[in-house]
Amino acid sequence: MNFSQQNPACCPSLLSSFIDGNQAAQMAAIFRVLGEPARLQLLSLIAAQPNREACVCHLIEPLGLSQPTVSHHLKVMYEAGLLQKERRGTWIYYRLVPERIEALRSALALPA
């Protein structure tokens, strides 16, 4: 399921007003995606790259995981709308979706 197509804005502010069941379910789905330590490491590794993008070949060794496992985690994050991808030859390069990351940050921000 592609959550980014479901609700592009993603995440209403969780701490400034009561959210309905549908909003809670959508947010919980995104947080489940991020509930896997390897996925958090992948986000961190991609963000740390000079162009804020990386292919699977750059991510396998630092995580110590197999290529199929890394590819699976990237696919899950892509389907959740956290990553964009672009094919270049035989490799697929992934980059963060800044608006999506910002929406998650905003969802957890305390009201002013």
Tell me, yes or no, whether 112 lies in a domain.
no
Q: What is the full per-residue pLDDT of the chain (112 aa) written as tens digits?
A: 344 444 445 677 788 888 889 988 888 999 999 999 999 999 999 999 989 999 999 999 999 999 999 999 999 999 999 999 999 999 999 999 999 999 888 888 888 7
Tell me, yes or no, whether 12 lies in a domain.
yes
Could you give the CA distance from residue 55 to residue 90 in angstroms, rounded to a whole number?
A: 10
Q: Give the domain CATH number at 70.
A: 1.10.10.10
Find the length of the chain: 112
Domain that holds residue 54: 3-107
What is the number of domains present in the chain?
1
- pLDDT digit string, tens, across residues 47-61: 999 899 999 999 999
Tell me, yes or no, whether 73 lies in a domain.
yes
